[in-house]
A and B are shown apart, each in its own frame.
Chain A
Amino acid sequence: MQREVGTLPLAPALRARLAAAGFQTAQELLDTGPCGLSKEIGISREEALEVLQVVRQECHGHAAGGAGSTRKCTALELLEEEQSQGFIITFCSALDNILGGGVQLTKITEICGAPGVGKTQLCMQLAVDVQIPECFGGVAGEAVFIDTEGSFMVDRVVDIAAACVQHCHLIAEAQQEEDHQKALETFSLENILSHIYYFRCRDYTELLAQVYLLPEFLSEHSKVRLVVIDGIAFPFRHDFEDLSLRTRLLNGLAQQLIIIANDHRSAVVLTNQMTTRIGQNQSTLVPALGESWGHAATVRLIFHWDNSQRLATLYKSPSQKESTIAYHITSHGFRDVQPPAVTPSTEGTELNPRKRPRTEEEKQQ
């Protein structure tokens, strides 16, 4: 109640008038009442009433503990929350291992890489994987896909989804539990596709507008657990003369995404491009959008090539150590590189991803 008038979310002109009239704390405003306020400052009675309503809302919001504005909890509560939280698996167990179980909810993960290395493939894989029912180890959520580059191919998603459904069918056959069968009824190709919400943003204004509207969208579709922004660098890299404006907009975006990730308990995945930094006499590939953007993401993965093998490096993570693994992109999606000793019966070099989960299941049983 001792809150200063200058901190209230009122229009600046009103604030200036209140300060000029000598009001200092919110309590004084409430004591004056609407008629007195309107006479002293020279505003209409309705406006004065509005001001008082805003003041009351602010002060009561604070007294009630501020749901959403400030959250306090002990580290123990956070630990319990984190342990019960699910991960979104990527179907490549090496990648899941270095990430500590998969893509984490409530965190922002950034994937950087050269063109053609597999960033959009991983995003499409995650959009399908987030929908895996809980009895199979998934999160049973929906996905929002914001595309700025136009590289989302529906046919590819159909392939990936079909392989995922196939995989779950195999597990259900091997384990024969009832809730598996029930879950499989709803986990079909049409359902998977209808729960991927796709937005195509052509420039940064549309991207900004979409991110402003996301909280509303997410509260309507409360089952969304994954927000993918494919190509956050593309709209900001051309046509921008004012670099400070760009940094400001990007930071604003990052803050809003953090709020979305925390409030709605969803994972946010961004893909970034690589740019060349020209040093003294050599040039290195670094993630685009500059140094300050590097602070926005919690977890950073860099995809790169090594001769003809695709590698993924965990570059930045608060809980896992830095490591590199190899991965493959097959017609079924994102998969591990099959070590040759495990399955000697595979014909030629054609990877059969379905064989791998079955041997895993047998090992577990």
Chain B
Amino acid sequence: MAAKKLRRAQLSQEMCERLSRYQITTCQDFLCLSFLELMKVTGQNYYEVQKLLCKVSRACAPQMQTAYEMKLKKSVNPSSAFLSTTLHGLDRVLHGGVPCGSLTEITGPPGCGKTQFCIMLSVLATLPVSMGGLDGAVIYVDTESAFSAERLIEIAANRFPTYFDSDEKLLCMTRSIHLYRELTCCSVLKRIMSLEEEVILKKVKLIIIDSVASVVRKEFDTKLQGNLAERSNFLTRGASVLKYLAEEFSI
């Protein structure tokens, strides 16, 4: 939205050409300037600049919804709002399970079962909706190489013996879990950026990143000057893309 070209914001052609001479081509550049600078750059008077500002703002501003509309939208499909973890205590505390449409973070000391939990969630997500799953694919970004396919099949076969009664079904399930091994921060970030297309292509309903801390700690030593800022930069950028994906696709 920020990178929207001014041409598409319905500004006149000559205005766009004039602005591009000052290297102002996107809405972001336009809105970052102060009033006086805008007057100088566009050569218009105060009231005209105000009108231009409103036009450009309207091109980038988000749509309004009332809270009531949001509630109605949610109540239209109640079943797809949560992924139940099949642990009743946890589901009760989470009010239904892992919520779709927002980020959930699982933390804990090593060995307490985070990766096992993630593997189980991947199995659950591939189940059909009638059994409490999301009937979709899973993207698993693994940074510690801790994902074991054998364990996956073991969990599936033992947990849902009636559903996974044939090898056919097991293979089908494993085919819908896409594993990506990324070992550096840059590649993790690149992978997150490229996820949008994959989500649409493969009908993904669950994205797991295991784990964010390990790859960040390996690369950024907090004692070095300046690394702290870079690290938080990387983390917030990744987080905002993931949030956008979660909300946009409701996964």
Contacts and interface: CB of A to CB of B under 8 A. Distances in A.
Interface of A: 9-14, 54, 127, 145, 149-151, 154-155, 157-158, 190, 192-206, 208-210, 212-213, 216-217, 234, 237-239, 245, 248-249, 252
Contacts of A157: 67
A200 B247 CA distance: 10
Interface stretch (B56-64, B114-122, B180-188, B201-209): B56-64
Interface stretch (B41-49, B85-93, B146-154): B41-49
Contact of A209 (B57, B233, B236, B246): B57
Nearest to A215: B54
Interface of B: 1-2, 27-28, 31-32, 34, 39-40, 43-48, 53-54, 56-71, 74, 95, 102, 232-233, 236-237, 240, 243-244, 246-247
Given A12-B39, A213-B58, A193 B28 contact: no
A150 B247 contact: yes
A229 B71 CA distance: 20
Given A196-B66, A209-B31, A212-B31, A12 B54 contact: no
B238 to A, nearest CB: 9
Given A150-B243, A193-B68, A212-B57, A203 B1 contact: yes
Contacts of A158: 71
B67 A245 contact: no
Contacts of B71: 154-155, 158, 193
Contact of B60 (A145, A206, A248): A206
Nearest to B248: A202
B60 A205 contact: yes
Among A197, A201, A208, A248, the one with the most B-chain Cβ atoms within 10 Å of its Cβ is A208
15 contacts: A9-B45, A12-B39, A150-B243, A154-B71, A157-B67, A198-B65, A203-B1, A206-B1, A206-B2, A206-B62, A210-B61, A212-B57, A238-B237, A239-B236, A245-B32
A210 B56 CA distance: 11
Given A9-B46, A54-B45, A238-B237, A205 B64 contact: no
A50 to B, nearest CB: 8
B61 A213 contact: yes
Contact of B67 (A11, A194, A200, A239): A194
Per CB-CB distance, the 3 closest pairs between chain A and chain B, nearest first, are A9-B46, A238-B236, A205-B2
B75 to A, nearest CB: 9
Nearest to B47: A9
A238 B240 contact: yes
Given A199-B63, A248-B34, 6 more contacts: A11-B39, A54-B47, A194-B68, A205-B28, A209-B60, A237-B236
B64 A209 contact: no
A158 B95 CA distance: 14
Contacts of B232: 237-238
A217 B236 CA distance: 31
Given A9-B47, A11-B45, A150-B243, A239 B233 contact: yes
B35 to A, nearest CB: 9
Nearest to B29: A205
Contacts of A149: 243
Nearest to B103: A150
Contacts of A210: 57, 61-62
Contacts of B56: 209
A218 to B, nearest CB: 12
A10 B95 CA distance: 59
Contact of B237 (A198, A206, A239, A245): A239
Contact of A11 (B27, B44, B65, B68): B44
A274 to B, nearest CB: 13
A200 B60 CA distance: 12
B44 A201 contact: no
Contact of B64 (A11, A198, A202): A198
A216 B54 contact: yes
A248 B28 CA distance: 14
Contacts of A217: 64
Contact of B45 (A10, A206, A208): A10
Contacts of B247: 150, 200
Contact of B61 (A54, A198, A209): A209
B199 to A, nearest CB: 17
Contacts of B74: 154-155
Contacts of B62: 199-202, 206, 210
A252 B60 contact: no
Nearest to B81: A155
Given A193-B68, A194-B68, A195-B66, A203 B2 contact: yes
Contacts of B68: 190, 193-194, 196
Among B31, B47, B232, the one with the most A-chain Cβ atoms within 10 Å of its Cβ is B31
A11 B28 contact: no
